[in-house]
Structure 1
Amino acid sequence: MHARGRVNALSDDGLGILETGGRRIYVPFSYPGDEVGVRRTKRRFGRLLAEDFEILEPSPLRGRPKCPHFGTCGGCLWQGLKYKEQLRFKAELFEGITGIEAEIEGSPQIWDFRNVSNFIVTTSRIGLKGYGSPSGVVNLSECPVFSKRTPEYLRALRDFLSEMGLKPWNLKRKAGDVHYLQVREGKFTGEVMVNLIAHVNPPDEILEAFQDYFSFVDSLYWSLKGDERDDPRGEPELLDGEPFIRERIGDVTYLIHPNSFFQTNSYALELLLRAVEGLTDGEKVLDLYSGVGTFGVWLAKRGFTVAGVELNPFAVEMARENAEINGVNVKFSVGRVEETPLGDYDTVIADPPRKGLRETAESLVKSSVEQVIYVSCNPKAFQLDYKNYLKRAYRIEDTRLVDMFPHTPHVEAVVKLVRKN
């Protein structure tokens, strides 16, 4: 055996840390208290990662995973950890990165909570990516974190591909007909959208068969993918049903389209929205990186005067639709956030991409904005933005954590920054 010992900590990305013989080995799917035996390691991103290992003695922190694919699928690193321990470790990891101690709210539902899943279709398997192996795919039979209906979706897909003779994507050769099946569910409306991402424009008989196999959905798309990148993106064409499905969060309805981003946990989203609402002061709010209007429409529904800025024109169009169907007046504009005049808003909400604010943080420092609500799923990016920019003008007044991603190390943070006197 290459190494043996007890895991004593978790890394920032949720791997068990084994210290042995002067070496540090990172062991996936392991937790503090686990006795592990490591037979083989590989060096990845400058560290030793256990590649062949076993749990010799389980930690008392372990719970029973619900998914038969746990341990190979890359989706749920922490599914073997009791949920209360997941929450504790998330808060501890966040504090270790940012220095901020904060309470965490758990997800109201930890199974069947994801409202979207992207199943990769390959020559060897259909399912989700395996952990630590970009080319490895787990042949999925079910997915308890996504939907009870996962077997139904996958069975329909496999039967359709078999009858029509369509070729799955070959990851090595970068060739094939069908690359991904994307499924979205409105958890509170029961509506379902299916979107096939393919490299071919098929004849009518294939499109008709596709509609027959997925006749139970509310919205059916075929997306033509014009590149070889391994991602679930294409130009969608509506084949049948409605162009959107709806999701209902509290008293707000959101429209969802194949090309729109929406928070993946519908059940915890209301907690996140209420956390932002509870920290927002004043009347005039500027929503930066406003996307499809998730925060902006919610706040407008509660009487705030809201303007939103987003670079993606399609997202802005969706945001305007969401404002209209909810009967609120929000001014959503297409523009670069970095170049947006910050004006005399009482509060600026910033929910940037994973890389963080960067230049926008510098603009906020130079502005007269009194309060910033920073929403982040990447504590390292937030810490860099605060340390390098925002700290010069703002102090941290309050922080709330919401678990949008059960069974993973990730957590969503809502940080209220107030301008220093």
Structure 2
Amino acid sequence: MFEGRIQDLSDDGLGMLEADGRRIYVPFAYPGDVVRVKKIKRRFGRRIARDFELVEESPLRQTPRCPHFGTCGGCLWQGLRYGEQLRLKSEIFERITGLTAEIKGSPKIWGFRNVSNFIVTAEGTGLKKHGNPLGVVDLKECLIFSKRTPEYLRALRDFLEETGLKPWNLKDKTDDVHYLQVREGKFTGEVMVNLIAHVKPSKGVLEAFRDYFSFANSLYWSLKRDDRDDPRGEAELVAEEHYIRERIEDVTYLLHPNSFFQTNSYALSLLLKAVERFTDGEKVLDLYSGVGTFGVWLARRGFSVEGIEMNPFAVEMASRNAEINGVKATFRVGRAEDTQIGNYDTVIVDPPRKGLKEAADLLVESGVENLVYVSCNPRAFKLDYEKHLEKAYRIEGAVLIDMFPHTPQVEAVIELVRRR
């Protein structure tokens, strides 16, 4: 048994306890907390508390709203006052990158997520338990997603009961229904429901599906042909519209089950404006363009935009988004690391979590004056900058946008300018 005061947080947001010459990482614990750790578990080379009690509360704490807090892995920091969350995110970002950056909080910190993937298992339907890949929290509500969460989950449970379809067995990797994905257009009120299952539905099952989810503006059944634990499958429209819409100020985006879109609709305009603020000149290359989130926004503001994206479906969606907004932006299929970077004033990169890697050298050799780097992984940015980009670019500015309240994550927008 170990007891002591949490002095700091790890880069991934766990409380750090120094006891008897050992460092123990404590989830849901914050600087100033006094904790008593009863059991620890080794994971990825670290000692992580698995059974502990809070002896004395930190003055940084607030009372969590969610009844699932402390078990659910969705909101590690919900027990922290929001102002402290922002301060600590800035501190962790500076500790990793060496950069001081202003941080902008999310306009809403409850009900802000526009998508949730509820895992459907014999143990329960909801979200994964923190630190337990086989544990599931049987949710009653989700305060960071939607007030309608109970309605969505009730519809699913009634649907399963009537049809006899079996929830997924995480341990044995068998049975029928694996995920329920729900998307909401926060500014349009539209709802998309996508059921990810390992079986094709019969006619009767489809009729029941339509009935129980009749409130959806778009209804999909996705056939999952592998046993990986992710909410992906071959999406087939069952009823209503192919897409739902989200509107961020004067730009409309189409959403589909297979397209990536930033999860916080309310903070997205802050992110887009930060990218716009660091964008210079007229010609812009959006190097990981996705569904055109940045490119269409910038084209709406008069920039000449070309986008490169390796996913053909995302390119199709980006082109549709440009069309419905009446803007001139060209999107094409290609790998960032294979792109011949021509005469652009600014290149925007929002790479995968692993970072730019080979594409970083292309940017260094390109001669492009301005680079805007968007990332939720400060370690990947630091690696890209120190190994590659620093040869040709200096950091001119940075801003943090809190797209993920109640978690340690933060989105960074970093302005880089070519060295003279």
TM-score class, shorter: over 0.9
Distance 1:263 1:42 in 2: 34
Distance in 2 (CA, whole Å) between partners of 1:14 and 1:99 is 18
Aligned position for 1:390? 389
Partners of 2:365 and 2:277 in 1: CA distance: 26
Alignment of 1:78-117 (within 5 A): 78-117=77-116
1:412 Cα offset (Å) = 0.3
Map 1:19-418; keep pairs closer than 5 Å.
Answer: 19-418=18-417
| Cα distance in 2, alignment partners of residues 236 and 357 from structure 1 | 29
Structure 2 Cα separation of the partners of residues 55 and 189 of structure 1 = 42
Taking the aligned partners of 1:351 and 1:264, their CA distance within structure 2 comes to 15
| Deviation readout 1:248-302 (Å, 9 max, x if unpaired) | 0010000000000000000000000000001100000000110000000000000
Per-residue displacement from partner, 1:153-203 (whole Å, max 9, x unpaired)? Answer: 000000110111111101111110100000000000000000000011121
**What secondary structure does 2:400 align onto?**
strand
- Give the SS at the match of 2:280: coil
- TM-score after normalising by structure 1: 0.99
Supply the AA of the counterpart residue of 2:110.
Answer: W
- For residues 113-155 of structure 1, give each alpha carbon's deviation from its aligned partner in whole angstroms, at most 9, with x where no partner exists: 0000000011111110000000000000000000000000000
- Superposition misfits of 4+ residues, deviation over 2 angstroms: none
- Partners of 2:100 and 2:171 lie apart in 1 by 45
- Letter aligned with residue 12 of structure 2: D
Whole-Å Cα distance in 1 between the matches of residues 213 and 126 of structure 2? 18
1:226 CA drift (Å): 0.5
CA offsets 1:349-389 (integer angstroms, 9 cap, x no match): 00000000011111111111001000010000000000000
The two structures, once aligned, show a CA RMSD in angstroms of: 0.4
Taking structure 2 as the reference length, the TM-score comes to 1.00
Shift of 1:335: 0.5
Shift of 1:419: 0.4
CA distance in 2, matches of 1:414, 1:172: 40
Q: Map Cα deviations across residues 80-123 of structure 1 (whole Å, 9 max, x no partner).
A: 00000000000000000000001000000000000000000111
SS of equivalent to 2:381: helix
Q: How far, CA to CA, are the matches of 2:252 and 2:245 in structure 1?
A: 7
In structure 2, distance between residues paired with 1:129 and 1:143: 13
Amino acid paired to 1:152? E
Partners in 1 of 2:153 and 2:253 — Cα distance?
26
User: Which residue identity does 1:155 align to in structure 2?
Assistant: R
Rounded Cα–Cα distance in structure 2 between residues aligned with 1:231 and 1:161: 20
Q: Secondary structure at the match of 2:134?
A: strand
SS of corresponding position for 2:142 = coil
**Count of aligned pairs between the two proteins:** 420
The alignment-based identity, stated in percent, is: 72
Residue type at the aligned position of 2:30:
Y
- SS of the counterpart of 1:360? helix
- Name the residue aligned to 2:17: 18
The amino acid that maps onto 1:282 is G
The aligned counterpart of 1:420 is 419
Question: How many angstroms apart in 2 are the aligned matches of 1:48 and 1:129?
Answer: 20
Q: Secondary structure at the match of 1:94?
A: helix
1:341 Cα deviation after fit: 1.1
Amino acid in the other structure paired with 1:385:
D
CA distance in 2, matches of 1:173, 1:43: 24
Report what 1:5 is aligned to. Answer: 4
**Distance in 1 (alpha carbons) for counterparts of 2:120 and 2:394:** 48
Partners of 2:78 and 2:209 in 1: how far apart? 34
Letter in 1 for 2:86: L
Contiguous gaps of at least 5 residues in structure 1: none
